[in-house]
Amino acid sequence: MAMKFALVGASVLLGGAHAMTVEDMLAAPRRSTAIVNPSGEWAAFSSSTYNWTTHKASTSWQLLNVASGNVSKAPFGSDVSEFVWIGPTDTSILYINGTNDDIPGGVTLYTADVADKEFSPTLVASLNAPFTGLKAAKTDSGDINFVANTLAWWNGSAYNEELATKARSSGQVFDSNWIRHWNVYMTEQRYAVFGGVLSGSNGTLSLKGEPKNLLHGIKDYLTRPETPVFPGADPGDYEISPDGKKVAFLTKAPELPKANYTASYIYVVPHDASSAPVAINGPGSSRPEAAKGASTSPRWSPDSKKIAYAQQNGISYESDRFQLYVATVDGNSSKITPVAENWDSSPQSILWNANGTDLWVISELHAAQRLWVVPANAEADFKPKNITGPQTSVADFALLPSGKALVSATSSWTSRIFYTVSAATTVDTKVLFSAHLVDRELATLSQNRTSNFWLPNENGDLIQTFVYYPPNFSTDKKWPAILIPHGGPQVALGDVWSTRWNMQLWAEQGFVVFVPQFTGTPSYSQRFTDLIANNWGSYPYRDLAMVWDHVEKNISYVDNDRAACAGASYGGYMTNWIQGHDLGRKFKALVTHDGKTHQEASYATEELYFIEHDQNGTIWDNYENYQIWNPIRHAKNWSTPHFIIHNDLDYRVVFDEGMSAFNILQSLGVPSRFLHFPDEGHHVLNRENSKVWHDHVFNWMRYWVGLDEELISEGIVHQ
Ligand SMILES: *[C@@H]1O[C@H](CO)[C@@H](O)[C@H](O)[C@H]1NC(C)=O
Ligand SMILES: *[C@@H]1O[C@H](CO)[C@@H](O)[C@H](O)[C@H]1NC(C)=O
Ligand SMILES: *[C@@H]1O[C@H](CO)[C@@H](O)[C@H](O)[C@H]1NC(C)=O
Ligand SMILES: *[C@@H]1O[C@H](CO)[C@@H](O)[C@H](O)[C@H]1NC(C)=O
Ligand SMILES: *[C@@H]1O[C@H](CO)[C@@H](O)[C@H](O)[C@H]1NC(C)=O
Ligand SMILES: *[C@@H]1O[C@H](CO)[C@@H](O)[C@H](O)[C@H]1NC(C)=O
Ligand SMILES: *[C@@H]1O[C@H](CO)[C@@H](O)[C@H](O)[C@H]1NC(C)=O
Ligand SMILES: *[C@@H]1O[C@H](CO)[C@@H](O)[C@H](O)[C@H]1NC(C)=O
Ligand SMILES: *[C@@H]1O[C@H](CO)[C@@H](O)[C@H](O)[C@H]1NC(C)=O
Ligand SMILES: *[C@@H]1O[C@H](CO)[C@@H](O)[C@H](O)[C@H]1NC(C)=O
Ligand SMILES: *[C@@H]1O[C@H](CO)[C@@H](O)[C@H](O)[C@H]1NC(C)=O
Ligand SMILES: *[C@@H]1O[C@H](CO)[C@@H](O)[C@H](O)[C@H]1NC(C)=O
């Protein structure tokens, strides 16, 4: 059933409107997901914009009226860094103020009521460190028990960088691996969840004692427990029970080395830390024998007696399927029951319905995150139905008292859409707000700027390819085209909004953009995902070649002589692989962002479990697995103009990989250009850096297909 979200606004604005520019995309409001109040009447979200005149970002808070879809300004500004709806009324809030007048580097907690005519907040706590990830529950006694996280010292105390004594030397010594991760080196400090109490018999709340580190009770570990798990620092890694008495959190398996295992367990601890945390699905628990991998999304049932969560089987396979479980927690023992265990899907975000009978989960299908409803006691063969479709990708959701969900989603044509949907089988989606109808920067976007097609590959699997069209597209002209091998490789790249590889923005440059979901992409089946292991250069390359062959032969509006190919991370690896093979000769230009050049350098990464899984073994026992799909072995064939980008703080795919590729290209006399950012990691996040990145990447492709007359010459470092 086709659900058209795009109403009048966008199509009216199409045509004469200018294309979305890089500046537009980067400046446009970035809206958080919606936080719904207890009565389901209001949802709050933050919005961050960028001004290219002042070169400053600014953040504001907005209130969405869930019944009407009206959006109004919240009565508070950006000094509220986050908040929860809690307190005496349905519009009471408890929030973190990111500043603290008394303790440099600390934060404060305030209470307020957003419905008050005069917004008059009350200071209730001064916290000695930069706490984030606030969650809270009211207890029987009327207290508010809260949890929040911050970095902690080895001895358990909260860490405040501004108050810490700075070491005189910058040297760091390590005795075991995992010395750095993502874009930072490990330090003494690890994230921890703290529990605090706000109480007040006279109605004015105040902090009772110091917040306690709830992880500190875990003893006898090999590697230090950490919640939320870095990187990501996702507050979804912990939750306070609705009665406020207990906290569930997950941490990587403390008895295993972190670099070569993904395993993590869910612990339960009393909120007052009166006894040590107990792992409900760790070794020796009642967990199913096969469930040894990473855990996610611990969520308390409304009666505070059960925890729903998802866990992978593979102990060192990060792209294994997440399976649903419900643990009944009784004292220190728990009974674990699998839920819909044969469902070939990978749910990673869970909420209980109000009466505790159903689990609402987000799981990806065909490159779009969907919402599903699963009975909490579903049999092994129960097949859940998606209640959202392919038109949007769900980022988060909340359940309303009406039993409906308020969904926060995105797509290539809207950076944020809020809509309600029910579990009913009839489609009853009601759109409350969509950015593309409101934001000037997104005015040219619409649902018909994208489509997709499916083609069977050599294994008989159907490969889905997403297509994005340039402004003023028509099929009776010939257009330059781009092939995008996505990253991961076990990450889908569907019809979603992104502030990094925003496929619609790429199309705005005058290209038709093709994004195939080649073998190894999640959300089609676990078997299909698993097939890429030890096959990096085989099935995915041949899928891409097959799709491109189809484009060349059957899509008349594509100009075969004006095509380019670009990829990041695994997509960069694949672009380097393509450069060494026949497909590389079909493109006028290539772009590799933070891609692998040299598989033998794999051990310079941090997550050894990833390479050891994907190359099916260690380099010492399985050397040929690291050799067979190694791009550098085919460097003699490199001849297509190639732009290499590699950032200094990329500790996943290290800088040297990009450096080697560029040196080889230059030595071979292949037209090539190199861009790096000393202050960026695997992703380019700073908007000023991102603008430079986009300007150069787009200019490189446009130049080599004849859309731009010159390569950018400004700001080039001359020798
Ligand atoms: C689309 O076509 C209209 C009408 O010809 C023109 O005014 C507009 O500039 C074009 N937009 C782009 C992005 O080329
Ligand atoms: C950006 O800042 C300038 C200078 O303060 C101001 O004139 C302009 O209106 C701002 N732009 C937007 C979109 O807010
Ligand atoms: C929503 O906002 C519009 C325009 O500001 C107003 O006319 C309308 O009454 C509002 N609706 C509700 C239900 O508040
Ligand atoms: C945040 O705290 C500062 C003092 O540290 C205060 O001046 C400001 O009014 C507070 N803002 C809010 C919204 O609580
Ligand atoms: C923990 O260690 C830090 C850094 O050495 C120190 O500042 C803090 O006082 C210690 N906490 C306790 C409870 O000893
Ligand atoms: C209420 O109690 C708090 C401490 O719990 C105290 O700081 C405050 O002054 C009291 N307020 C009144 C109005 O008594
Ligand atoms: C995993 O890490 C441990 C400790 O660093 C090491 O002993 C073990 O050999 C590693 N396993 C693999 C497969 O690398
Ligand atoms: C649960 O285990 C903890 C830590 O082992 C212990 O301190 C506590 O007394 C136990 N609680 C119960 C109810 O058995
Ligand atoms: C629980 O709620 C669901 C929908 O919200 C409803 O279908 C079901 O009948 C309820 N079950 C009980 C036991 O109340
Ligand atoms: C469920 O997904 C299918 C396949 O994408 C889609 O056709 C269908 O409309 C979706 N169902 C709902 C209720 O959105
Ligand atoms: C999308 O719809 C608009 C307005 O209806 C139309 O002008 C445009 O050509 C369509 N674009 C595509 C790619 O079909
Ligand atoms: C290698 O592949 C085999 C067969 O699929 C599997 O049993 C084994 O666990 C894999 N080894 C590693 C280290 O991934």
Within-domain flag for 677: yes
3-state secondary structure 93-109: EEEEECCCCCCCCCEEE
Question: Can you list the positions of beta strands (E) in 223-367?
Answer: 238-240, 246-252, 264-270, 278-279, 295-300, 306-312, 322-330, 333-339, 349-352, 358-365
- pLDDT for residue 15: 40
Within-domain flag for 373: no
Distance set, CA 168 to CA 158, 172, 375, 712 (Å): 22, 12, 58, 43
End-to-end CA distance of the chain: 60
Query: How long, in residues, is the chain?
Result: 719
* Cα 105 to middle of ligand 5, angstroms: 16
Question: 583: which DSSP letter?
Answer: G
Domain CATH number, residue 587:
3.40.50.1820
* Cα 215 to middle of ligand 8, angstroms: 15
Q: Take atom 4 of ligand 7 and give the residue whose Cα is closest.
A: 257
For residue 57, give the ligand nearest its CA: 2
Ligand 6 in contact with 200 (CB < 6 A)? yes
**What span, in angstroms and rounded, lies between the C-alpha atoms of 210 and 188?**
22
Within-domain flag for 1: no
User: What count of other Cβ atoms lies within 10 Å of the Cβ of residue 148?
Assistant: 25
Catalytic residues: 569, 650, 682
Taking the CA of residue 277 as reference, the ligand 8 atom at the shortest distance is 4
Q: With 0-12 CB in 10 A as exposed, 13-18 as middle and 19+ as buried, what is 304?
A: middle
- Residue 238: what are its φ and ψ, rounded to 5°? -145, 160
Taking the CA of residue 316 as reference, the ligand 7 atom at the shortest distance is 13
Within-domain flag for 451: no
Within-domain flag for 193: no
The torsion defined by the Cα of 485, 486, 491 and 492, in degrees rounded to 10, comes to -80
- Which residue from 249, 236, 231, 246 is spatially nearest to 192, judged by alpha carbons? 249
Within-domain flag for 66: no
Taking the CA of residue 101 as reference, the ligand 4 atom at the shortest distance is 5
- pLDDT for residue 428: 85
SS3 454: strand
pTM: 0.94
Ligand 7 in contact with 615 (CB < 6 A)? no
Ligand 6: residue of 126, 202, 207 to mutate (most ligand atoms within 8 A of CB) is: 202
Ligand 10 in contact with 5 (CB < 6 A)? no
- pLDDT for residue 201: 67
Ligand 11 in contact with 472 (CB < 6 A)? no
- Tell me: the pLDDT tens digits for 385-416? 999 999 999 999 999 999 999 999 999 999 99
Rg (CA), the chain: 26
Question: Can you list the positions of beta strands (E) in 214-304?
Answer: 238-240, 246-252, 264-270, 278-279, 295-300
What token pair was written down for 425?
């089988």
**What span, in angstroms and rounded, lies between the C-alpha atoms of 584 and 679?**
31
Q: Take atom 10 of ligand 10 and give the residue whose Cα is closest.
A: 389
pLDDT averaged per 10 residues, the chain (length 719): 35 54 98 98 98 97 97 95 96 97 98 94 97 97 96 96 95 94 94 96 85 94 93 91 98 95 97 96 92 97 98 97 96 91 97 98 98 98 96 98 97 98 85 96 93 98 98 96 98 98 97 98 98 98 98 98 98 98 98 97 95 96 97 98 98 97 98 98 98 98 98 91
Find all residues with CB under 8 Å of 485, minimum gap 6, and list them: 516, 518, 540, 544, 565, 567, 570, 571, 574, 575, 578
- Residue 180: what are its φ and ψ, rounded to 5°? -145, 160
Buried b (16+ CB within 10 A) or exposed e, 163-179: eeeeeeeeeeeeeeebe
* Cα 29 to middle of ligand 2, angstroms: 14
- pLDDT for residue 17: 56
* Cα 352 to middle of ligand 9, angstroms: 11
Within-domain flag for 196: no
- The count of structural domains within the chain is 1
What order of strands is seen across the sheet that includes strand 107-113?
80-85, 92-97, 107-113, 122-127
**What span, in angstroms and rounded, lies between the C-alpha atoms of 666 and 672?**
7
For residue 154, give the ligand nearest its CA: 5
Check the CA dihedral 658-638-613-263 and report its sign: positive
What token pair was written down for 640?
């297509």
- Which residue from 427, 466, 93 is spatially nearest to 419, judged by alpha carbons? 427
- Which residue from 204, 33, 223 is spatially nearest to 123, judged by alpha carbons? 204
- Tell me: the pLDDT tens digits for 519-550? 999 999 999 999 999 999 999 999 999 999 99
Are the CB atoms for 198 and 208 separated by under 8 Å?
yes
**What span, in angstroms and rounded, lies between the C-alpha atoms of 396 and 406?**
9
Q: What angle do CA 297, 416, 371 make, to 5 degrees?
A: 40
Ligand 1 in contact with 19 (CB < 6 A)? yes
**What span, in angstroms and rounded, lies between the C-alpha atoms of 517 and 52?**
35
Ligand 7 in contact with 316 (CB < 6 A)? no
Distance set, CA 233 to CA 114, 190, 230, 250 (Å): 28, 11, 5, 12
**What span, in angstroms and rounded, lies between the C-alpha atoms of 110 and 659?**
50
Domain span at residue 562?
A: 456-713
For residue 165, give the ligand nearest its CA: 5
Are the CB atoms for 370 and 429 separated by under 8 Å?
no
3-state secondary structure 511-522: CEEEEECCCCCC
Tokens 């962002």 -> residue = 593
Q: Take atom 14 of ligand 12 and give the residue whose Cα is closest.
A: 616
Ligand 9: residue of 358, 359, 402 to mutate (most ligand atoms within 8 A of CB) is: 358
- Which residue from 418, 415, 393, 414 is spatially nearest to 405, judged by alpha carbons? 418
Ligand 12 in contact with 302 (CB < 6 A)? no
- Which residue from 488, 547, 566 is spatially nearest to 521, judged by alpha carbons? 488
Within-domain flag for 661: yes
Ligand 8 in contact with 284 (CB < 6 A)? no
